[in-house]
Amino acid sequence: MVIIYFNNEQKEDLQFLQELSFEVGSKIVQVSIDFFKGNYNPKLLQNVSTKINLPQLKVERCVYALSYLFTESSKLSLSKSDFLESVDAISPTKEIEECLLESYQKNREEMRRILSEMSLKLPSIDSLQWRLDVQISSRRTSNEAKPVYLLKLKTSDNRTVWFQADYNELESMTNQLEIALKESKSQHYKRIKKYIK
């Protein structure tokens, strides 16, 4: 069972959630979700703060704290009960609690996707294009018929690499990669997967 802990500052920031109406509360929750996704809407925040008669800074800090809640819960993939327990620490009203849970469940997959984009990774392969040519003659040799593969590899960091390969090289590359692929279906891999879970 995993629970998220708020530090004292964050608990303070989220205090006033207890006194809010559902309408205003849900708006703040929505702003926090958008903030996480990168769409920060200051105007909406301004409207909310004037409505409940609180300084904008206070509402902003609340949004940051809620974003922290959503980030950590998505990162750890909290179950419904764990999420509710974590939220309990700031004891919001029943309606706001439900609103938080609903937003979490609805947006969890997308938030996890955004987090994994931000994670450490090597550039991945975009596409590989190939062309088969026959080399007929060159300066040093003539009247030959040597098959040559032209390959273009594109990676996710927008790099394009051109290279050529013989038939033999290409065949050995294909064989190696096939072996690599078979590994994902091997017993060893299945065992590890089971143990780690």
Partner 1 sequence: MELSKTNLNSLSLLKKIPKSVHQELLSLVFGVLLQQVDETEIEKSQTLKQIDSTLLKEVYSGLITIIIQAIKANLNEKSLAHFLKDTNSPTEFVGLLSTAYGKTFQKIRETHLETTGFYLKRLISINWRMDYIIKSNKIEQIDKPVYFIDLNLQKKDGQIEKLKFSCDTNQLQDLVTTLKDAVLAKKTQK
Q: Collapse the DSSP code of 153 into the 3-class scheme (helix H, G, I; strand E, B; otherwise coil) and give the result.
A: strand
84-103 binders of partner 1 (CB under 8 A): none
Task: Tell me the closest approach of the beta carbon of residue 156 to partner 1, in angstroms.
Answer: 8
Judged by CB under 8 A, which of 3, 84, 89, 153 binds partner 1? 153
161 touching partner 1, by CB under 8 A: yes
Task: Tell me the closest approach of the beta carbon of residue 151 to partner 1, in angstroms.
Answer: 7
| CB closer to partner 1, 57 vs 181 | 181
| CB closer to partner 1, 57 vs 195 | 195
Q: Which of 88, 115, 114 is nearest to 101 (CA)?
A: 88
Judged by CB under 8 A, which of 44, 52, 54, 76 binds partner 1? 76
Judged by CB under 8 A, which of 147, 160, 190, 191 binds partner 1? 147
| Other Cβ atoms closer than 10 A to 119 | 6
136 touching partner 1, by CB under 8 A: no
167 touching partner 1, by CB under 8 A: yes
Judged by CB under 8 A, which of 121, 140, 158, 190 binds partner 1? 121
Q: 56-76 and 94-118 are packed helices; what angle lies between their axes, rounded to 10 degrees?
A: 60
Q: Between the CA of residue 56 and those of 60, 100, 140, 171, what are the distances in Å?
A: 6, 21, 77, 65
Q: Which of 103, 16, 8, 5 is nearest to 57 (CA)?
A: 16
Name the amino acid, one letter, at 194: K
Select from 16-24, 25-33, 58-66, 126-134 the region that touches partner 1 (CB under 8 A): 126-134
Q: 80-88 and 94-118 are packed helices; what angle lies between their axes, rounded to 10 degrees?
A: 120
Residue ranges of the alpha helices (H) in 7-93? 8-13, 22-37, 42-51, 56-76, 80-88
Site residues (vs partner 1, CB under 8 A): 74-77, 112, 115-116, 118-125, 128, 130, 132, 147, 149-151, 153, 155, 161-167, 169-174, 176-178, 180-181, 183-184, 189, 192-193, 196-197
